[in-house]
Amino acid sequence: METAPTAFLGIDTGGTFTDFALLAAGQLRVHKVLSTPAAPQEAILSGIQALGLQTMANNGELVIIHGTTVATNAALQGKGVRTVYITNKGLKDVLLIGRQTRQQLYDLTPALQHHAFDENLMLEINARLDAQGNVIEPLTTADLKTLQRQVEALQPVAIAINLLFSFLDPEHEQRIEAVFAEDYFVSRSSSVLPQQREYERGMTTWLNAWLGPLIKAYLLSLGRAVAPSRLAIMQSSGLTISAEHAAERAVNLLLSGPAGGLAAAVHIGRQTGQQQLMTFDMGGTSTDVALLEGEIRLTDQGRIASYPVAVPMADIHTIGAGGGSIAYVDAGGLLQVGPASAGASPGPACYGRGGTAATVTDANLMLGRLREDAFLGGKMPLHRKAAEAALLPLAEALQISTTAVALGIVKIANENMIQALRVISIQRGYDPRAFTLMSFGGAGGLHICELAEALEIRQAVVPLNSGVLSALGMLAAQPGRELVRTRQGLMHAIDEPSLAAELQLLLQEAQAELRQEGVFNTRHQNHVDLRYQGQTYSIAIAYEGITQAVQAFHLAHQRLYGHTLPKAVELLSLRVHVEAERPPFKLPGVDTAGRTQATDASSAPALTVDNLVDAQGKTIHAPLYQRGTLPVDCLLRGPALIIEEHTSVFLKAGWQATLDETGNLQLQNQQQA
């Protein structure tokens, strides 16, 4: 009989830190350790040990929900496995040709793009379906034997299968898979991404095979280490999946960690009535930004490195701007920041672990916005002299003071993040002023006021435990699936009952997978991908009926592109979102025991910061508050520094902050009020 879990542990592995959020007996504990990129499970097992959970894990009393960067890092570093790509005769160069789009449109001599796939590992087979799924050329036994000899000679670790129109009839792909499944990691497009566009489908299938053995080995190893406790994995869609299923779906885990932060942001937004959110998750290595309207927005046009990833994933824009981003002076004598990062080892210079390059974290320490004795609750002292030594070569090269260099580094990092926030808002037809800006990640609170000001956003929020919010999001996420199938036709000519029947089949497929994970009660939502006839790209529209969907499509097209067209609306794909139906999850809020209600900062105990540098470069005296001692509804006025164990908040002059009942810091810009 399976042991009932008594505790839930969310784990987010980042490039610099691995974060833990433990929910047991209604109490929340958080923890943070330095990541071990070469072997991520080492940091995880170290954290489990530090939290005193080893016995509980050994007894099967722990449920672990994990956001992993193993697939992401392997893709970014080009460290997948040797993979054979099998396709139809005449089509093996599709992945090399791609969409023939230029990264720099007006560059007449573009550099040759590097790619990780080997042209010598691409094989063709004499089998073909037409656009209706009818067999033109059959797949013979002789074809399969020839293919088997070719694969054996190449000695791959994984195989990707992508045949034309396999989303209409997967039989040929299934027969090829059956030949190799026992000896290789096999990924077939009719399972990974059963929809049109052979290039995107082929790249996604190849990525799944190329990364699959790595993620499978990692998850199986971690699963054994925590057995018999259960291990679930966060998907890029914001839904969780069992480790056993995730081991076959590496491509669905490429935004595993960042999606956890969005799951928590959606949850907090519902609790506080702030569902129009722009989020930025600033960690040690990168910053992820997203726009939320009460739910995680998904896209099938995501990318990782230079590769298109067409599986449903959270619509997140990522830039190389984190606390560990390295500053340097370029060949033109200009100060630059990122995308290279100091990572976890050696880390920023101020960590005292051998790093010598100046980073955003070093700059914030020099500006007094980080405290030497308060980082990670004082468990990890920072070294101001080391930070100053790292900044000095830049100051000498630019002939300015180290303080001015530090301020410049922060301003450049801010500008990079501001541009990223504009991409997900203004460039997509949204007015940032209609949203609340939410920061999380260990470094987010230090930059939130300046980012909000640049976008003319008046309201901002720094959630409780924002430094480990992605790990908290693992606890808030639900098991689920996001399935998609190609179904083309003009909407006015489609039979509505037949469309409903196809959606029902997708729903049943998702529910069958979830039942294998012990999930029997589910809720779901249907979507259709629509476009005007003749267009290339589509818009996902919630589906409740053909007439409603067409009307909603016209409105969405008008908002996104500023116009509608007098053309027929075409259906491209069907989508079904299915997740567990469970009682509403509630993150424990601030512990108000012993705290009093307050209306101003006078009742909030404060120290004084005597070396805080403001946005104009002036050194000022300002109050320093411990967030854990703030009374509910207290009113703090900037400039001020608010610190907690895993993050710090720089409250800029002209801003004020209050602590709400759930422990979130609600910020308001009084100058723009």
Phi, psi of 280, deg, nearest 5? -135, 125
| Assigned superfamily of 7-75+216-253 | ATPase, nucleotide binding domain (3.30.420.40)
- The per-residue pLDDT for 141 is 95
pLDDT of residue 434: 94
- Tell me the C-alpha distance between 553 and 578, whole Å: 22
Cβ atoms 238, 477 nearer than 8 A = yes
Residue 294 Rama label (left phi>0; alpha psi -120 to 50; beta): left
> How far, in Å, are 65, 67, 71, 614, 648 from residue 40 at the CA level?
15, 11, 12, 38, 26
Q: Are strands 287-293 and 317-319 parallel, antiparallel or unpaired?
A: antiparallel
Judge if 7-75+216-253 and 480-580 fold alike in CATH terms: no
The pLDDT score that the predictor gives to residue 458 is: 94
CB 437 within 8 A of CB 451: yes
Residue 399 C-alpha from the chain's centroid: 39
For 338, the enclosing helix (H) or strand (E) is strand 335-341
List Cβ neighbours of 336 (8 Å cut-off, separation of 6 or more): 327, 328, 329, 330, 412
Domains in the chain: boundaries: 7-75+216-253, 79-211, 480-580, 601-672
d(CA 453, CA 669) in angstroms, rounded, equals 8
Please give the pLDDT value at position 451: 95
Between CA 154 and CA 314 the distance in angstroms is 36
Distance CA 478, CA 473 (A): 10
395 CB neighbour count, 10 Å cutoff? 18
pLDDT, averaged per 10 consecutive residues of the chain (673 residues), comes to 71 86 88 86 93 91 90 81 95 85 76 79 94 93 95 96 94 96 95 90 94 93 92 93 92 88 90 91 85 88 82 86 88 88 83 91 92 79 92 94 94 93 89 94 90 95 89 90 91 93 94 91 94 90 94 92 93 93 68 49 64 84 88 90 88 92 91 67
- What is the DSSP code string of 87-151? EETT-TTHHHHTT---SSTT-SSPPPPP-S--GGGEEEES-EE-TTS-EEE---HHHHHHHHHHH
pLDDT confidence of residue 91? 92
Q: Each residue of 358-377: pLDDT tens digit? A: 999 999 999 999 888 877 77
User: What is the predicted pLDDT for the residue at 342?
Assistant: 84
Cβ partners under 8 Å of residue 132, min gap 6 = 168
Farthest CA pair distance, the chain: 84
3-class secondary structure, 621: strand
Q: Which two tokens stand for residue 538?
A: 């589509």
Q: 176 Cβ partners below 8 Å, 6+ apart?
A: 86, 125, 139, 144, 147, 161, 188
The verdict on whether omega for the bond into residue 228 sits within 30 degrees of 0, i.e. cis, is: yes
What contacts 57, CB < 8 A, 6 or more positions away?
A: 48, 64, 226, 229
pLDDT of residue 3: 54
Is-contact 595 627, C-beta < 8 A?
A: no
Dihedral, CA atoms, 342, 346, 352, 354, nearest 10 degrees? -110
Instruction: Note whether 406 and 367 are within 8 A (CB).
Output: yes
426 is written with which tokens? Answer: 């203004």
Closest by CA position to 363, among listed 398, 415, 329, 404: 404
Q: pTM here?
A: 0.84
CATH: 3.30.1490, 3.40.1710, 3.30.160, 2.40.160. Which one for 480-580? 3.30.1490
- Partnered with residue 232 across adjacent β-strands are 65, 242
Distance CA 406, CA 359 (A): 9
Is 370 within 8 Å of 349 (Cβ atoms)?
no
96's tokens: 């090399």
**Token couple for 201:** 């489908």
The pLDDT score that the predictor gives to residue 673 is 58
Instruction: Give 427-433 contacts, CB < 8 A, sequence gap 24+.
Output: 428/291, 428/560, 429/559, 429/560, 429/561, 429/562, 430/291, 432/278, 432/456, 432/457, 433/457, 433/458
Beta-carbon contacts of 394 under 8 Å, excluding residues fewer than 6 positions away, are: 327, 328, 329, 335, 358, 405
Q: What angle do CA 101, 107, 113 make, to 5 degrees?
A: 55
Angle between helices 469-476 and 256-272 (to 10 degrees): 80
Residue 431 falls in which region: left (phi positive, over 0), alpha (psi -120 to 50) or beta: beta
Q: How far apart are CA 90 and CA 178, in angstroms?
A: 23
What pLDDT is stored for residue 20 in this prediction? 94
Instruction: Specify the pLDDT at position 229.
Output: 92
User: What per-residue confidence (pLDDT) applies to 409?
Assistant: 95
- The pLDDT score that the predictor gives to residue 553 is 96
CB atoms within 10 A of CB 661: 12
Pairing of strands 276-282, 436-440: parallel
